[in-house]
Every structure is written in structure tokens, then in C-alpha cells.
Chain A
């Protein structure tokens, strides 16, 4: 039960996790370069990557994108040769970005609706960590109205207000058993909200260099009146009343620096570095409305550390109508070895991506990307749950987006 919040924050949607330590799938172009390109790509997705660049878009447009995140983890307990795998699931984060206002003016407005979290991990109830987690699925939808202003032709700023609406559904086994020896189950579902902001500045010199600085604030997401339901044998049903719970999850802020420059008339190189303030996530507290001697409020240590990611990519304009790109990145995990949980069996990760954009017409273009991430194998024992073993995770995420300009 205590995992819910935590889960909300981190679970399998790590790939899609918006806070910067991982690849963001909000922009399919950037996804094609493993998340680099906040300085290079000035388009509707800048609402997410750098609100300061929005005003530099030369037309208004709407961009709709979706990614199929396939997050597969495997676990092997220490001193055992049995491997357990998460069940195959595709979680589909989506995004919609639109810009409004006069073209080539000193201001522009935009709105973004995107899913920085959105994913599912399902270990089932037949694995050694069943009392830690069975399954988690979650969806966070960020709504971000944005304004962007030109200070000079080359220098612009922008900012947006973020409203987070998140849903979560998770279950885990609980150690009370029926007469057939099957464990009970706790299921937690809830909706949480939080607010934050996203600001950025963008500077460029035509055909020389572009620099992007952006800051996304932390979003403290509060869950209230979530539903906690327990499936337990009737002998102990009175000790596990179905009840409400509340919890609080601090999503970290991040600071991103991006740079890009052309190496030829057709080729641009971009790099991004992101610092993520994960250390605010110290512990996860669950407060149940009804407590019994065996159902008490819980507090679980997380002890996250600040994290860093670096991404670089190359963008090749093959023709006026067609671009190809590729990128790679490395992410230092915020999760300390002794605090690895099944919800996020995290470790440092490497990633590689490829993508394209094709102009279907004067007004419409289509982008696609494929990214692969490997969370490096990690053998550890969690100090809180005692679960000891080796985790390994592969993530595949193909994405497509369609943009219409006017």
C-alpha cells in the first residue's frame, strides 16, 4: 500500500517521465535524437522543451503525437536461476501542442496537453516481490498554457503554467492468506493534482548557434480520497476495511541546457544536459482514513539523489522535404542501490534513437522516431523490503507525430 505514491512518481513510465532525467516523448523530433534538440527544434513542441522558443515559430500550428512505450523488466532473485518478466504492455503517452497569435510578432501564445507520465508495469502476483508490487498503471496529463515574447530578434523568453491531472491504479499482494493459501490483495486507485511552471530563454544566431536554457519547476502532486480496496479472507476482513487514502508526491524540478550548431548546410548537431532535483523525494507517506491494528499509515524511505542526463544528436536535412536524425544519451539514475524498488528498477541507462521528418505538403509534416534504452543490469538488496536480486530493463518506444501549420 505504501507504494502508491511512489509509484505515481516513478514507475515504469520512467521512459516517458517528463522531469528530465529520461527521454521525453513529447516531441517526436527530439525523441529521434534521444531527447537532444531543445535549442535546435523551434516548433510547437517548444511549449514543452523551451517556452522561450515558441515566439520564434514562423507559423501557427498544431502538432499531435503519440508514442508506444514498451517497458520490459526482468528480475532474478539472488541465489536463484528463475527469471521473472513483466507482462508485455504498451503504454501510449500522447501530446497535443498548438500555437496561436500573430506570426513574426513580438509575442505568441500556445497550449500543450501532454502525458509526461503514462505507463504500466505488471509483474503479476506470482513473483518473489509480489508483496512489494503486482501491477501499476498510471497516467498523468499536464495542461500547460504558455506565453512567449521576443526581447530581440535573437533572444526570446517564455513561460507556462502547469496543471497536472494524474490517475493511478496499483495493486500488491498482502500477507494474509485464504484457506487455499492464496494471499490477499490491496488495490489503490486515485486521482491527484498539482501545479507548477515551465520557463525558458532561447538565443540564436542564424546559421551559427542556438542556445536554450529552461527550467521546469517541481510539481507537488497531491492525491486525496483515493480508494483503497482490500481482498482478504473473511476472518480478517474487519481488519482491512475498504477505505480512502491520501498521499503526496513531489515531482522534481529540472534545469536544462541545450545547444545546437550547424556543421554544414545540411547537418546540425545538438546537445542537451539536464540536471534534475530528485533529492526532494525522500520518502513516501500513505495516510489511510481508517486505521486498524494491522492497517496503519505507512512511511517508506526513497532517498533519491539529484540526477543528470546528457544527450546528443545529429540532424540531417536530406532534402527540402525530408530529414533524418539520430542520437544517443546517458542518464545517471537518481535511485540509490539500496532503494531500488520493483516499481522502478532503475539504474544508469544508455539510449540510442533514430528518427525522420517528412513534409507531406506545404502545411503538413509527419515525424517518426524510435528509441531504445537499456537500463543497465543492477544487482542489489532493498534495505526496506529485503528483496535481493538482479534487475534488467529494456525499453522500446516508437513514436509518430503529425503537424499542421497555417
Chain B
């Protein structure tokens, strides 16, 4: 019996020891640390438009700014020599910035949204409170176009840009001037989307006198892009650039379909409506499933409305759906060809200048069919796809994290660094 007691103590002791020491396994496999000193992340700046700024849900607001892809990337750079990365955040008191839309309900799987109107940052209509704070590194300006980036007038016209400048600079300082002379060591550059997007989301109709709906020609695009990149790499800095997504794949243009409109119209009219008529550059015609309608059209309340001749809107060639609401098949093809040319150029200049190239266009193509990310279905479907925010153009926080991982992969692939990936499931859809 004594022997037994002695033994049981031994066993219990061994058990406790084993429990304490090795119950928790350690995975020793390490990603990095990299020993490449070729890249200096100490001062990273992010140059770009709304996607760089963290615009989402139809507005720029604090939550979106905090999860802008450059901010997520900068966080990962910190363990690899990255320095501080400041963003012109809205204050807590004005955290809803420009205002945005949020989901109020899902009705039959369709989103119903509402405007957020409290805690805004306006000091007057279309004037946002000035940002005051330390030097910023996220230089993204919503609405910025490549073809406007050298024009001083834009700093007066764009309230997001005006917010970042003293009044004396407005109308004088261009975006390129704004970005210049920052002594950066690394940059991301993602401009050019709006040079295509503004045109596409206006049904390929260029009718805005401010030039926001123009399609930038390939020649101008190449010239300004080269000029901008030359400035950013003047001291041999390294950086990452990104391709332009095929905008005809985004929910803003893929959600409202001909069939959905016909179904809704037929139900409202109490009779089957067979055809929708659209205005095109070559005259009115019946719509096909290859024609894309812009997202706001479904709630514009125009369809079926009779004109002065009592012809219902959209149901007859004599009162067709206006050109600006439809990106017709021919326009889709033209845009795709155009975007392909731009992307070919971006890839080329990336190689030429030894820059990492993140192929966002390829990512978006994958999202069109959909991917599964850590158990979450992510696609370019509106709302249910988790990647695009409620405006159908900009990304959700989760979409931003996936985007940031694409940027990180591109940097790692080009420069042999070992920036860690981001757990995108940490970010809401």
C-alpha cells in the first residue's frame, strides 16, 4: 500500500508537470523575419483617390478611414521598419464626416438603406471642417482623377481636398504639388479609377462641366501617370502601384438588371411588360441582358412614368431610358478595351521602374465568380457579397483587408520582404 501511495504521487506529479509544460503546442514555423534591407518602409505615403482614403457607403467617415487599405498595410510595415502613418481622421465629434448610408433592413434579400445625418463635419454646404493635426501619410483624396492631378483648380472644387489645405492654397495647389516634397521612402500609388469610373457610372455620357464624367484618353493617362511616377521615384524610392479594376464588374453596374426592372415594372403595371427601351449613342433600341443599368436607377422612380405625350418612360422607343442611366453593350466593350490598355501600361511602367504591381483587376475578376475567404463567401454581389459597401463602388472593411493583403503580396513578391498578411475576418463586411 505504501508503494502504491508513493506511486500515485509520482503519477500525479508527472501529470501536472506534463500538463503545465506541453499542453499548449507551439508552432515554430516562422514567416520571416526578412533580411532584405533593400526596402525602407520608414516613411510610407499613400497616394490615391477615395479607395486610398477609405471612402465607403457613399461617404468618407472615421470608421472607413481607419480601415483604409493603406492604413492596414502601414500597420503590417511597423514590424519591418515602418514609421508612423497618420491619416486625416475626422474627429470623434464629427466622426460621420461627409455622412453615409447604412443598412436599415433587408427586405426579400434586398437592402433598404438610410442616411446617417448626425455627427457630420460640414461647416457649410459642401465645406468640410479643416483637418488640423500632424503631417499626414494617407494622402488619398476622394474623387481625385489622374487627369486632374496636375490642376490647381481641383483643390477648390473638391471638398475632401480643400479640407486638407489652408484656404490660401485653394485653387492654386494641385494634387501633385500636394504630394510633392514629402521625403517619403516608400509609396503606394493607385490613381486612375475615376478617369474611367466617372464616365462609366454616368452611362458613358460626359456631361459634367467639372470634367468628372470624362473618359481620360490613353495618351493623357500614360503621360500624367509617367509624370507622377517619375516624381514619386525621383530619389529611387520603391513602391507599389495597382491596376484599374474593370468597372463593369462592380455592383453599381451589375445589380440592377433588365430582368429585375421588367419584373418590378410588370408587377407594378399589373400586366407583363416585354421590353425596356434605352437611348444609345446610335438611337433608341430594346434593352438586352448585356446592357448595364446604374444602381440608383432602380430607386429613381422614373420607369413607367408617362411624359407629356402620355408615353411611359422606358417602355417605348419614343420615351427611352436616358443614356446616362445605361452603360450599353457597346459601351461596356469599349470600356473594357480601354481599361485593358491602361492596365497593360501600368504593368509595363511597374516593371520599368522596379515597382510592385498589385493586380486589383484580377482580384475583381475572381470576386465576380466569388471566392471563399476563411469560410466567408466573398463576391462582387451587392450587400450579400461582403466585399463592396452599400454604394456599390467602394469596399467594406473586409474588402479593404483583402485588398491590403493583395498589396502586401505584391510588395513581398517584388522585394522579397515578409510583411505578414492581415486576418480579414477581423473586419466587418
Contacts and interface: CB of A to CB of B under 8 A. Distances in A.
Contacts of B11: 356, 368, 370, 398
A265 interface: no
A82 B425 CA distance: 14
Contact of A85 (B15, B24, B371, B373): B24
B27 A390 contact: yes
Contacts of B19: 70, 396
Interface string B18-45: 1100111111011110000000000000
B109 A239 contact: yes
A386 B428 contact: no
A235 B106 contact: yes
B375 A385 contact: yes
Interface in A125-143: 128-132
- Output the residue of B373, B375, B398, B427 with the most chain A CB within 10 A: B375
A74 interface: yes
Given A235-B103, A293-B109, A385 B7 contact: no
B101 to A, nearest CB: 13
A132 B374 contact: yes
A72 B428 contact: no
- What band does the interface of chain B fall in when counting residues whose beta carbon is under 8 Å from A? 35 or more
B384 interface: yes
A320 to B, nearest CB: 13
B421 A79 contact: yes
Interface stretch (A153-161, A175-183, A210-218, A243-251): A175-183
A316 to B, nearest CB: 13
A73 B421 contact: no
Contact of A88 (B23, B25, B102, B104): B23
Interface in B383-408: 384, 386, 397-398
Given A235-B106, A294-B384, A398-B15, A72 B375 contact: no
B110 to A, nearest CB: 9
Given A177-B429, A239-B109, A370-B18, A396 B23 contact: yes
Contacts of A181: 63, 397, 427-428
B27 A372 contact: no
A235 B372 contact: no
A83 interface: yes
Interface in B19-78: 19, 22-27, 29-32, 63
Contact of A322 (B3, B109, B372, B397): B3
B12 to A, nearest CB: 8
Given A132-B375, A322-B3, A70 B421 contact: no
A386 B375 contact: yes
B167 to A, nearest CB: 35
B23 A393 contact: no
B108 interface: yes
Interface string A237-272: 011000000000000000000000000000000000
B118 interface: no
- What band does the interface of chain A fall in when counting residues whose beta carbon is under 8 Å from B? 35 or more
B29 A386 contact: no
Contacts of A368: 8, 11
Contact of A372 (B8, B18, B31): B18
A393 B102 CA distance: 43
Contacts, number: 134
A377 B428 contact: no
Nearest to A79: B421
Contact of A79 (B27, B104, B397, B420): B420
Interface in A74-93: 74-83, 85, 88
A74 B4 contact: no
A235 B105 contact: yes
A59 B105 CA distance: 70
Nearest to B79: A81
B374 A386 contact: yes
B103 A387 contact: no
B428 A74 contact: no
Contacts of A384: 372
A384 B4 CA distance: 52
Contacts of A372: 18, 22
Contact of B375 (A131, A176, A360, A394): A131
B425 A235 contact: no
A66 B376 CA distance: 39
Contacts of A130: 374-375, 425
A175 B386 contact: yes
Nearest to A385: B375
B421 A80 contact: yes
A236 interface: yes
Nearest to A384: B372
Contacts of A398: 11, 15
A222 interface: no
B106 A394 contact: no
A355 B219 CA distance: 81
Contact of A74 (B24, B102, B109, B397): B24
Contacts of B177: none
Contacts of B386: 175
Contacts of A78: 31, 421
A370 B374 contact: no
B423 A377 contact: no
A379 interface: yes
B223 interface: no
Contact of B428 (A183, A239, A292, A322): A183
Contacts of A239: 106, 109
A131 B425 contact: yes
B14 interface: yes
A220 interface: no
Contacts of A236: 103, 105-106
Interface string B350-380: 0000000000000000000001111111000
Nearest to B423: A128
Contacts of A80: 31, 420-421, 423
A358 interface: yes
Nearest to A76: B27
A387 B4 contact: no
A392 interface: yes
A82 B76 CA distance: 12
Contacts of B1: 360
A294 B1 CA distance: 65
A77 B405 CA distance: 13
B374 A392 contact: no
Interface in A86-113: 88
A370 B15 CA distance: 7
Contact of B4 (A179, A293, A322, A374): A322
Q: Which 8 A-B pairs have the closest CB atoms?
A: A131-B375, A177-B428, A181-B428, A293-B109, A385-B375, A79-B421, A392-B25, A132-B375
Interface of A: 70, 72-83, 85, 88, 128-132, 172-173, 175-177, 179, 181-183, 235-236, 238-239, 292-294, 322, 356, 358, 360, 366, 368, 370, 372, 374, 377, 379, 384-387, 390, 392-394, 396, 398
Given A83-B27, A182-B428, A183-B428, 13 more contacts: A70-B19, A74-B24, A74-B26, A81-B31, A81-B32, A82-B420, A130-B374, A175-B376, A177-B428, A322-B4, A370-B18, A377-B27, A396-B22
12 contacts: A76-B29, A79-B412, A79-B421, A128-B374, A130-B425, A131-B374, A172-B375, A177-B428, A238-B105, A370-B14, A370-B18, A390-B29
